[in-house]
Chains A and B, each alone.
Chain A
């Protein structure tokens, strides 16, 4: 590592307590300053370049991934301290399963160890108020890794301050397909008509009975409706009699209720055959709500390291509209506050510009209105 060949003196100097303290203070100061401006609410990282870093520095691939994890920890600290609410990281793509078994296993082991360590430090996470979520195809993972995930997710569930989304086996195509499928499933469930306390048949009966009772009131005759036949005959007569004689014996009333219920069930079945939610009511918001990132603030900033200018199946649905996408030349293990700072500053600068641009026409029109 070229940085490891630094002269002993410089290393000694930088490691001396006062200098270390000063660097720490400077970092805190810069992060505190960043908070003063607009801060992206949701930032996503594609952690690319671990292997290339390892290759170029002559260390093992697994070591490169470990260094990448350190970079992630550093950048999470910066993000949460400066007020970013949600951080989404692309940890493992479904495509990555194509890599050598050795590397995949090492990555899985690393994830497991880190997540278990995370679970040991629940109170520290509480101090950040951060909760962990894992997005992706869980069924592709092994039991032990799943267990570790569930433990750390469960442990941090109550934290509301900040969210860390780990995309672990994830691809955006898979996410979109899942969202479409889930929406279809949602809309293919027949509308369960809420068991209302009124049934249509009862209402028609009542109406008919009303008419009959009006007739009987004139005729003073106990009516057995002659027009209707079959099963409805008895029911009709019963209900009409109930309306006529409120003090009817109880067994008869229960019989009516039973029949009403039967009627209702058959009606429900008929209802279920036809009614589904209208597919025309599906909107892109509904699809968004079926994505893994449902209910999170919109993605403001997406950063990909290592100079590759591709999205590689990451957050396509989330980033294709207003998100600022930034491609950086540096490799992920080198990513730090000092490389992140210019990106954030430029984002703040752009945001302020666009706010100004939005404001000027408004103030102009206001002036016009006032002058008029």
Chain B
């Protein structure tokens, strides 16, 4: 970047705490960058006074806009293709083969792992009903298995509609069978729950399995939906309002710590890493209170759950440094 004379004069002014230039001189400095007239007036007057010129300018802008977007969509297709190819290569290079040892090998070098991993899944093909639900459950189960292999103890699965919550026992069964596929007979103990719904510990599995499983570690899964986002905060407000109306608390008692404690207890704490399996970062109503310092990972142009995405998320998390506002 090359700085114009104006910029240099401006910086001289900044260095002297704004004493180098008079207000008048400063205005002259920015004059060439100002819009010709107030934007409101421009809309009202321009077409009246110079119809031909404004029409020509508009057409020129439209032309440039079309050209830019044509070029851009070519660029985006190339980029998408590139990313898909890259994704395929990664998928082949890093395949888990349903072997916990291999997965552990893949993350051995990482300096740190998230304790609480969160993922956003999407229910696809809503009109197809059961097929969409099955696919969703399979994705959730697959990721749970990877987490269990890596040693992540808490996994929260966000899905906007909350359909998994409605099928909690089925989800538990799906995850358990997936864990069996990875670990064989001895699987980690598994707890699946959702806010305000009693959780299932080791589901319908037998007692002896429970005892066998404990040395393999533990995985607790939390199912979230859009109801655990804004609505929770609204519910908290309602409760606080009621208490305040009955003079049980005064509004000044409502502090950040109180809200934080309540939200953490009723839904969950802040996850360390949030992985999106979507091409863009869009939170779709994910609980707002908890994403404060969460590392958000997504892969450009990737759509779909894949082991390579999961692995890259963990790698990028290990590299990320935190500095808490300092």
Interface set of A (CB-CB < 8 Å, partner B):
3, 6, 10-11, 14-15, 20, 24, 29-30, 32-37, 66, 70, 77, 80-81, 93, 95-96, 98-99, 109, 113, 116-117, 120-121, 124, 126-129, 161, 172-174, 176-177, 180-181, 183-185, 187-188, 276, 279-280, 282-284, 287, 308-313, 316-317, 319-327, 334, 336, 342, 345-346, 348-350
List CB contacts (< 8 Å) of B271-326 with chain A: 280-289, 291-297, 316, 320, 324-326
* B131 at interface, CB cutoff 8 A: no
Separation in Å of the A34 CB from the closest CB of chain B? 7
The majority secondary structure among interface residues of chain B is helix
Taking a contact as CB atoms closer than 8 A, the residue among A276, A282, A317 that contacts B237 in the complex is A282
Separation in Å of the B125 CB from the closest CB of chain A? 14
A18 to B62, CA, bound (A): 25
A-B contact pairs, 18 of them (CB 8 A): A24-B32, A29-B61, A32-B64, A36-B62, A36-B65, A66-B11, A98-B324, A128-B34, A184-B251, A188-B245, A287-B234, A309-B295, A312-B292, A316-B292, A317-B230, A319-B283, A323-B283, A345-B72
Interface set of B (CB-CB < 8 Å, partner A):
1-2, 4-5, 7, 10-11, 14, 17-18, 23, 26-27, 30, 32-35, 37-40, 57, 60-62, 64-65, 68-69, 72-73, 76, 229-231, 233-234, 236-242, 244-245, 251-252, 254-256, 259-260, 280-289, 291-297, 316, 320, 324-326
Taking a contact as CB atoms closer than 8 A, the residue among A113, A184, A317 that contacts B254 in the complex is A184
Nearest to B37 among chain A residues (CB) is A127
A177 to B154, CA, bound (A): 27
Inter-subunit contact B35/A320 (CB<8 Å):
no
Number of A-B contacts (CB under 8 A): 207
A177 to B296, CA, bound (A): 23
Chain A contacts for B236, CB-based, 8 A: 180
Chain B contacts for A180, CB-based, 8 A: 233, 236-237, 240, 254, 259
Chain A contacts for B282, CB-based, 8 A: 322-325
Q: Which of the listed residues A80, A126, A280, A321 has the most CB atoms from chain B within 10 Å of its own CB? A: A321
Nearest to B1 among chain A residues (CB) is A3
Nearest to A6 among chain B residues (CB) is B2
Given contacts A33-B68, A34-B65, A187-B241, contact A311 B291 (CB under 8 A): yes
Inter-subunit contact B245/A187 (CB<8 Å):
yes
Chain A contacts for B316, CB-based, 8 A: 309
Given contacts A15-B5, A121-B23, A185-B251, contact A30 B64 (CB under 8 A): yes
Chain A contacts for B76, CB-based, 8 A: 346, 349
Chain B contacts for A128, CB-based, 8 A: 34-35, 38-39
Given contacts A173-B256, A287-B230, A309-B297, contact A282 B288 (CB under 8 A): no
